[in-house]
Amino acid sequence: MLPKFEQFIRERQYLHNVSPATVAWHTHNLKWLPSESPTEDELKQMVVRMREKGLRATGCNSAIRSINAYLKWAGSPFKIPQMKEPQVILPTYSATQLRLLLDWKPKKVTGHRLSTLISVLADTGCRIDEALSLSWKDIDFDNLLVLLHGKGRKDRLVPMSLELRRRLFLFQRKTEAKEGLVFPTQIGTKQGRRNVLRDFKQLCRTLGFGPPARCIHAMRHTFAVNYLRKGGSVFHLQKMLGHSTLEMTRRYANLMTEDLQAIHQKVSLLA
């Protein structure tokens, strides 16, 4: 890596205290740059090269955000514009599918672990890694609060329902756990996402429906839509989800097609 790139990474790591994942993200994306001080034409050719390599608009924009951060740090007069991304309807669970998942009564301890994990995802809207990183000390049973360890080492306190507290308490009593991770492996280590994804998909099929695309993250989408549908504000949802910008949260308004259809029947001049 070129010296200026290394300096940028080191400052991000030691001055901004970014996570190892963010360091790896910047390190990977800076490889697209042809030099430490690229010209405007070189930046345009770089984006063309990304597309030729098969990167979709979302992948290009992810790399562009990282590269723009470097360009600003380096004092470059150039900034790469974000590409227009297609408006994709994010996958969610139907009310029936959600009820099947939440009413599931497992018999084995591993099943209870998965069931309680699903309850945490559905009640807090947290990311899967945030749930798998959850420790018992992060759960405040008395005040109905959960401390989540989000992206970029940003912690946030989110409320939980009385029902989730009940489910967590029963799971804790069943496992006789007082400390450590809430959803560990049998040897007490953090579960891998792939293993959880495998079990999640299998459960969906067992309950009689096909798992939606990105089936674990779809629970986060479902939480967001339900939050807005029940009258929650976009600003509060941003805090719940741990989004750095409001624009990221506004995407979930696009999921409420059925709600818009129902409202239109009431307000249409032709109805």
> pLDDT class for 261, splitting at 50, 70, 90?
low
| Four-residue CA torsion sign, 89, 94, 99, 100 | negative
Asked whether residue 61 carries a pLDDT value surpassing 80, the answer given is yes
* Chain position carrying tokens 């805090």: 239
User: 185-207, pLDDT tens digit by residue?
Assistant: 999 999 999 999 999 999 999 99
- Residue 246: the pLDDT is 73
Token readout for 35 is 């030099």
Q: What is the pLDDT of residues 146-189, one digit of tens each?
A: 999 988 778 999 999 999 999 999 999 999 888 999 999 999 99
pLDDT above 70 as % of the chain: 92
Query: Could you tell me the pTM of the whole model?
Result: 0.74
Are 179 and 135 spatial neighbours (Cβ–Cβ below 8 Å)? yes
User: Does the pLDDT at position 1 exceed 80?
Assistant: no
**Sheet order of strands, 155-159 included:** 139-140, 145-149, 155-159
Residue 5 CA to residue 27 CA, distance in Å, equals 8
Least confident of 7-11, 18-22, 94-98, 109-113: 18-22
Secondary element (H or E) of residue 268: none
Domain boundaries defined on the chain: 3-73, 95-260
DSSP reduced 3-state for 159: strand
Task: Tell me which of 243 and 41 has the higher pLDDT.
Answer: 41
Higher pLDDT, 255 or 261: 261
| Homologous superfamily of domain range 95-260 | Intergrase catalytic core (1.10.443.10)
Amino acid at 36: E
H helix intervals, the chain: 3-14, 20-29, 40-52, 57-73, 95-103, 109-124, 128-132, 162-175, 193-206, 217-229, 234-241, 246-250, 257-267
